[in-house]
Amino acid sequence: MFPTLHDLLGWGPPIDTHSAFVALGLAAAGIVFLVEKRRRGVTDERIPYIVLGALAGAALLSRLGTWAQHLDPSQNLSLTEQLLHGNASMLSALVGAWLGVHVAKRIVRYPLRTGDLFAPAVALAMAVGRIGCLFTERPGTPTGADWGIVLDADAAAYTGSHAGVPLHPSFVYEIGFHLAAFAVLWFWLRHRPIAAGETLTLYIAAYGIFRFGVEFVRGNEVAWLGLTRPQLFLLVTIPLLLARIIYKARRGALTSRTERTVPREQHA
């Protein structure tokens, strides 16, 4: 494993590898967001505040989402410790970003949907960010075959994995999914007659289904009924997302281009 970029590259300062790839993913997402914003002709000066809301919500909830892991509160970190040093969750970050966007919209009184601006950017950010996970976290469960990632004793001890055993490259699976999702979003869906904001809903639903499946080879702790905590969360949220998509599709609202426009006085 490569906890710092110095470990990974063999030179340079000891910058945290995971944080570096998260930053790189955010930078790539920012470029994609700006390109899509320009393509769609979005010039409202409130958009930067909505982006800040998404980033703040993702940063906050990514930590809080893994806080209450034990029913006994004394076994969990304090709130300060969790925010500074606790594990981060990508699923919680997505929920936090969604909440942050809606809070920011309320504050700045922005009435339109912004999911189409965020969808390809989020997919690319997730793909790049997962590269950092690949270099620093437990790869996955044993493959039971002669293929997979094999860790030496030090790397296995660092990640809490098996040494000398081929392991599922679960983060490679995720990187592949998000890159494929980005390609579909960028080269196809954003040019299709999808109702405003729904490309993000479709992406999140697809990722939820994929993530539920990949959890079986991820190596996360089983919490209840043979399922991990992310799977228990997804067991509730996936049906809600799918029900929403099916409901809108049956009403013909999934492919409508109808969208409210911002009254001229609100731009002042």
Indicate the pLDDT class of residue 8, thresholds 50, 70 and 90.
confident
Indicate the pLDDT class of residue 260, thresholds 50, 70 and 90.
very low
Looking at residue 219, its amino acid is G
What DSSP string describes 191-236? Answer: GS-PPTTHHHHHHHHHHHHHHHHHGGGT-PPEEETTEEHHHHHHHH
SS3 of 76, please?
coil
What is the share, in percent, of the chain residues with pLDDT greater than 90? Answer: 59
Q: Whole-prediction pTM value?
A: 0.87
Looking at residue 207, its amino acid is Y
Contacts of 164 (CB under 8 A, 6+ apart): 150, 151, 152, 153, 156
The pLDDT of residue 219 is 85
Worst-scoring range by mean pLDDT, 35-39, 131-135, 223-227? 223-227
CA distance 227 to 88: 19
The pLDDT of residue 252 is 85
CA distance 208 to 204: 6
pLDDT digits (tens, 9 = 90+) for 157-190: 888 888 999 999 999 999 999 999 999 999 998 8
CA distance 190 to 245: 17
